[in-house]
Amino acid sequence: MNAKAKKILAAYKKLGGRIETRGKVQLPKMSDFSLWYTPGVGTVSSHLAKHPKDARAFSIKKNSVAVVSDGSAVLGLGNIGPYGALPVMEGKSLIFKNLAGIDAWPIVLDAHEPEEIIKIVKAIAPAFGGINLEDIAGPQCFDIERRLIEELDIPVMHDDQHGTAIVVLAAVINATKVVKKDVKKLKVAILGAGAAGSGTARLLRAYGIRDIVLADSKGIISKHRTDLSGEKLALSKITNPRNVSGESSLMIKNADVLIGLSGGGAITPEEIKSMAPRSIVFAMANPIPEIMPDIAKKAGAMVIGTGRSDFPNQVNNSLVFPGVFRGALDRGVRKITEKMKLSAATALASLIKRPTASNILPTVLDKRVVPTIAKAIR
């Protein structure tokens, strides 16, 4: 273990957790106990038993989100289970509170069957105003999200799909201005056809980009593939209009945009060199990008982004999910729609008035980000 890793572990161990619960009222007198607990609380309980729709007005439901994961696809680390997922969900809860004032709760599940996860989330839903699904592997993540959206009356969003898609679209819009290309005529290659790749492809297409090609570990998603099912089969019908097939390097050749949503080191300098002039590369695997920014730049990429906060152009869903849920909670939104996602992406992009190669997105510390995205969720 290196010195940096030891320092990080020591910092986390010292805190013993980065979030805590804290009451909005104090209990210095017995009359306070009587009001805020028994017998006063009985009046509220009786009211909500008869009028459950009033829970938002009388409880934490108004401003709370459950951050739910089974630990099956954590960052770029893979299936590391609920204990491995816990620090990440705790970190997301911290971001929710710090950036958007939302009380978020890390819920990690020692459960992996879709029906079991759906049942658990539905069972805990009464306490929450929204459900943020996170780090759940495909293909089960697609059915889990779809079912929960259909069966719950609160907003449900799988952040790996839609938070990623929103921030990538915003980054593409502004990066295209830097390289001076028509965004609707871009050739886009997406390395990774899981949750993030699928969500990104669908939102880019909804924005009007038609030439989008994806690849998974077995090669390009095309109509020639006979091993596709579920979401990947659906993607083969709406992407890859040139019907490119074979290994992923073939879709990267002459592409204007390369979006990495796979794993560390998955993109080579030679592949960057094969791209169209003035290329855009987003290597978003965490913690190790598909290609390091300095190597991508040396290979010829003009605009480069990663998912990390220690390089320019952080293309990370932490820019998105606080504002999405802030807007959804404030307006009582029951479903995050495609129109809302497109509005959120264009609103986020608009915060950078004059994009440059090293500045295509605001940072997570920009105070305009959360209210701007929240306003788009109507």
What pTM was estimated for this model as a whole? 0.92
Binding residues: 134-135, 160, 286, 316
Whole-number Å distance between alpha carbons of 145 and 156: 7
User: CA-based angle 107:232:115, to the nearest 5?
Assistant: 35
**Is the backbone peptide bond immediately before 269 cis, with ω within 30 degrees of 0?**
no
What tokens were used for 95? Answer: 């971001």
- Residue-wise pLDDT for 80-139, tens only, equals 999 999 999 999 999 999 999 999 999 999 998 999 999 999 999 999 999 999 999 888
Per the residue annotation, which of 61, 92, 181, 341 is the catalytic one?
92
DSSP state of 170: H
Per annotation, catalytic residue among 6, 7, 12, 37? 37
What percentage of the chain reaches a pLDDT higher than 90? 89
> For 312-355, what is each residue's pLDDT tens digit?
999 999 999 999 999 999 999 999 999 999 999 999 999 999 99
| Residues placed in the known binding site for a divalent metal cation | 134-135, 160
Contact yes or no for 113/147 (Cβ under 8 A): no
pLDDT in tens, 198-229: 999 999 999 999 999 999 999 999 998 999 99
What's the pLDDT at 302? 98
* 330-338, Cβ contacts within 8 angstroms, sequence gap of 24 or more: 330/374, 331/377, 331/378, 332/56, 333/155, 333/377, 333/378, 334/153, 334/154, 334/155, 335/149, 335/155, 335/156, 336/155, 336/156, 336/157, 336/162, 336/377, 338/203, 338/206
pLDDT at 58 > cutoff 90 = yes
pLDDT digits (tens, 9 = 90+) for 157-177: 999 999 999 999 999 999 999
Read off the pLDDT band of 307 (50, 70, 90). Answer: very high
Confidence bin at 74 (pLDDT 50/70/90): confident
Closest CA to 80 of 137, 14, 165: 137
Catalytic residue flag (residue 375) = no
Residue 239 has pLDDT above 80, yes or no: yes
CATH numbers and ranges of domains, the chain: 52-154 (3.40.50.10380), 159-378 (3.40.50.720)
Has 92 been annotated as catalytic?
A: yes
Mean pLDDT, residues 224-252: 94
For residue 6, the model assigns a pLDDT of: 86
Q: Please, which pLDDT band fits residue 296 given cuts at 50, 70 and 90? A: very high
Q: Give the residue numbers of the binding site for (S)-malate.
A: 286, 316
